[in-house]
Structure 1
Amino acid sequence: MAGKHIDAVRERESARFDAMVEGDVEQLDALLADGLHYVHSNGKRETKREFLDALTTGRRRYLDIDIRAQELRQFGDTVVVTGKLKVELETATGSLESQMAYTAVHVLEADEWHLISWQATRMASTD
């Protein structure tokens, strides 16, 4: 059963990154937990609403998200994802392209997996 949950969270992670690049706020709303804490690589923490609003208003636009590594571990109704990715985005202060290490925590709520916590850290470029 754990493999099934791991696969479901892996699919939702991929769908979330796709929705971020596509600017699909409706899809993101369904994938994110209402109590989300999203900590960007610059240390700024946002709620679900703040994160979605930045995409809706165009203050943040993801151009590409490329998963470089990913490990998923399940602990009951929680799956912890650790990984590395390359992100390209535009913000009100300019363009950014960086390698990041991240931790994402998904919880099972009403038979659906939702992202409840995200923390990313910029890494030295490896390309």
Structure 2
Amino acid sequence: MTEITNAVEQLRKAMVDGDTVTLEKLTSSELSYGHSGGKLQTKKEFVSDIATGVSDFVSIDLTDQNIRMVDNTAIVRHILSAATNDKGKGPGTVKLGVLLVWVKNNGQWQLLARQAVKVL
């Protein structure tokens, strides 16, 4: 569980910092990244949007995190509250329910899938 908790925290920090090297390391080449509005992205698209500021997270706070392990797969659910400053949109805030699916690949936990829904 500690490895997954650490991987989630590394992902959170990399998204805020725009750290594409860490994002590349933490995400599977088969990544399916789902946004709350229905947009789906590949790994390349997700990392590119963070790198270019299309998706710009000023801060991210994760709460109510629950982790379930099934063999070499981890299912993580949490509430993501964030301040954003997306290119072309300006400052904003989001509150999302997020499901992350992580798989262990050659000793490294990698994000395979992510889906977010808006929290009312």
Aligned match of 1:80: 75
Pairing of 1:79-98 with structure 2 (within 5 A): 79-94=74-89, 95-98=91-94
Give unpaired runs (5+ residues) of structure 2: none
Aligned match of 2:21: 26
Aligned match of 1:53: 48
Q: Tell me the distance in 1 between the aligned counterparts of 2:82 and 2:37.
A: 13
* TM-score, length of structure 2 as denominator length: 0.94
Aligned match of 2:59: 64
The answer to whether the 8 Å contact 1:69/1:85 transfers is no
* TM-score, length of structure 1 as denominator length: 0.89
Give unpaired runs (5+ residues) of structure 1: 1-5
Q: Which one of 101, 107, 111 corresponds to residue 115 of structure 1?
A: 111
Identity of aligned residues (%): 27
Give secondary structure in 1 for the equivalent of 2:84. Answer: strand
Q: Tell me the distance in 2 between the aligned counterparts of 1:21 and 1:80.
A: 22
Aligned match of 2:6: 11
- Farther-moved stretch of structure 1 (105-114 vs 92-101): 92-101
- Higher Rg of the two aligned structures: 1
1:46 deviates by 0.3
Aligned match of 1:3: none
1:88 deviates by 1.6
Would you say 1:102 and 2:98 are equivalent positions? yes
List structure 1 segments (4+ residues) > 2 angstroms apart after TM superposition: none
